[in-house]
Amino acid sequence: MSAQIIDGKQVSSEVRERVAGEVAGFIADGGHQPVLATVLVGDDPASHVYVANKLKACEAAGIGSVHHELPAETSERDLITLVRALGDDDGIDGILVQLPPPDHIDPDAVIAAINPAKDVDGLTATNAGLLAGGRPGLVPCTPAGVIELLDHAGTPLEGAEAVIVGRSNLVGRPLISLLLGRNATVTAAHSRTRDLAGVCRRADVLVAAVGVPELLGADHVKPGATVIDVGINRTDDGLKGDVDFEAAVEVAGAITPVPGGVGPMTIAMLMANTLTAARARSASRAAGQARDHAV
């Protein structure tokens, strides 16, 4: 029997509508309009498309945006100076530096310059540490989108065996913490894992975040499992996930397609994070004013 197809486009538009409603409510309650600053260095065409889509999503959600486009030869120091200035700018709630930067710029140095309160990609050591410690912070968008999809599919997480293939800072590691936070029993598999198929077949929830087209097939899927495919691989046959969809769909209980699964969720969660950052900054400003009043 074929699996339920988890429609990322539909879930993403539901999240975006929900955020737009919450932004309107936040403003109606006396909050400020959340503002996202995007920074793009160089002329990589894919990065330009990603940033344009993010700016469009801001507009639809009622979130303000400020875009900085810098030439490819911009120095690391100048980029860091801009990122720090945005961190200090009271009119900005979220900072998104489109990655990867040109080769002469160290992405880790740029990420380290982002004000953690405005780190809507959830990439700074501060937010990664908060997430690893099970404390509230800004969560990376793609892993947060994976959890939304699992919830939408009605997949029980508490007590479930979850296997994540991939342990990157961007996807795999944050997912370990998010799934642990939902009381799943989590296994992180990677390039040195022995018997990958056997490990994956234990999973009630299988997440592939590898970057190898169709690495996981029917042999890797426990019958009835929920399979979330984060992979986006450009091949001669078009866009492919890390899961062989045609094979896995016959075994899984629910599965995301590529494209149209996890991909659309990332921008939706970026909107949600920008609102979260705006609310937190507004609350901490109010707390500061109350303290000033008290003295």
Please identify every residue annotated as catalytic. 54, 98, 121
DSSP sequence for 199-257? HHTT-SEEEE---STT-B-GGG--TT-EEEE---EEETTEEE-SB-HHHHTTT-SEE--
* Residue 64 or 140 having the CB closest to ligand NDP: 140
269 touches 148 (CB < 8 A): yes
b/e per residue 59-80 (b: at least 16 CB within 10 A): eebbbbbbebebeeebebeebb
* Residue 61 or 262 having the CB closest to ligand NDP: 262
User: On the CB side of 251, how many CA atoms lie within 13 Å of its CA?
Assistant: 22
* Residue 86 or 210 having the CB closest to ligand NDP: 210
Shortest distance in whole angstroms from residue 190 CB to ligand NDP: 4
DSSP secondary structure letter of residue 44: -
61 touches 16 (CB < 8 A): yes
* Residue 62 or 174 having the CB closest to ligand NDP: 174
Q: State the residues that interact with ligand NDP by CB under 6 A.
A: 142, 165-168, 170-172, 189-193, 196, 209-212, 215, 230-233, 262-263, 266
Shortest distance in whole angstroms from residue 264 CB to ligand NDP: 8
Shortest distance in whole angstroms from residue 59 CB to ligand NDP: 20
Shortest distance in whole angstroms from residue 89 CB to ligand NDP: 27
* Residue 61 or 215 having the CB closest to ligand NDP: 215
Shortest distance in whole angstroms from residue 41 CB to ligand NDP: 19
* Residue 116 or 172 having the CB closest to ligand NDP: 172
Shortest distance in whole angstroms from residue 29 CB to ligand NDP: 32
Cα–chain-centroid distance for residue 80? 23
**Could you tell me how many residues make up the chain?**
295
Placement of tokens 């479930």 in the chain: 160
Interstrand relation of 238-240 and 233-235 (parallel, antiparallel or unpaired): antiparallel
Residue nearest to ligand NDP (CB): 168
CA–CA gap between residue 132 and residue 150 (Å, rounded): 20
Strand partners, 5: 255
CA angle in degrees (0–180, nearest 5) for 52-58-61: 145
